Amino acid sequence: MKKDYRNTIIVVAAVVCIIAFFVIAGVTEAISIPEIPASFLGAAAGAAITAVVTLLLLQGQTNAQEVKERNVKVFEKKSVIFSEYIDKIWEAWKDRRITVEEFNNLVDCYYKKLMLYMNASSAKIIGEQLKLIGTLTEKDVSPDDQKKLQTALIRIINTLSDEISLGGHIDEELFKELGVESKKAEERSRSANTTFKMLGIKKGTELVLKSRPEVKCWTVDDKNQVKDENGEDLSISTLATRELGRSASGFTEFMLDGKTLYEMRRK
């Protein structure tokens, strides 16, 4: 309705301008009366052509703007839906396993939302990964199965990233390495507060280094101090770091009765 109203105004304005021009020209005798009809027809034809061209240009501009605005709205909606789906994936991956409820949620969102905004190729890739995830749902996954699950989730995220041209991809190898480092950091954090007393280890108990059993030490207090083979007193982590040549937690590196002190704490 707005476009029709605007088009009508353009045509009426053109006709009014033409009539006004000839009225003024006749009154001021800028054009003789006999010449007015011919001049009027020529001017009317020119004005009509100009009006038509202007109208077409305005319509084309309006249509292009409407398409642009529609595409922007679709992209914004698409970005929100994809972002929410990625959040669901990360939430499900927290405990390194997928429950039936989490799997059904991913599948429902795939059919109800994702497919409306994806091309056929991307939809197929994600569908295949969801099928694989379904075979690993609600079970105690082995390390190999956990890798498969992780790969499937990463491929889904990368496919969604490609769909909205973000360009950012998760590097699977780097992701695995960061996961290992995160686990080690968690272990270090837990072992930081571990004490011999907590583990029921008495003074004078012999401990051996996991990777080099010939390296031994003996506890000297209830906390974390040990005596090395040279009779030097130091913390168990300091000894582990010295012997391994890298930063290390003594409670994860030294063993008692075939188990690391950290494993003893977890029991």
The residues, any chain, with a CB within 8 Å of residue 145's CB and separated by 6 or more, are 136, 139
Percent of the chain having pLDDT more than 70?
62
pLDDT of 155 higher than 70? yes
| Amino acid of residue 30 | A
Q: Rounded distance, CA 120 to CA 38, Å?
A: 63
Distance of CA 74 to the CA centre of its chain: 18
Q: CA distances (Å), 179 to each of 16, 156, 173, in order?
A: 76, 18, 10
Percent of the chain having pLDDT more than 90?
25
pLDDT of 13 higher than 70? no
Convert the pLDDT of each residue in 87-123 to its tens digit. 888 888 877 788 888 889 999 999 888 888 888 888 8
Convert the pLDDT of each residue in 64-88 to its tens digit. 676 677 777 878 888 888 888 888 8
Convert the pLDDT of each residue in 202-243 to its tens digit. 999 999 999 999 999 999 999 999 999 999 999 999 999 999
Q: Give the pLDDT score at 91.
A: 86
Q: Give the pLDDT score at 22.
A: 56
Q: Which residues pair with 233 in a beta bridge?
A: 227
Q: Give the pLDDT score at 86.
A: 85
Q: Give the pLDDT score at 37.
A: 56
Confidence of residue 262 (pLDDT cuts 50, 70, 90): confident
**91 φ, ψ (degrees, to nearest 5):** -65, -40
Q: Where are the beta strands (DSSP E) in 20-141?
A: none
Q: Global pTM?
A: 0.45
Q: Rounded distance, CA 117 to CA 78, Å?
A: 6
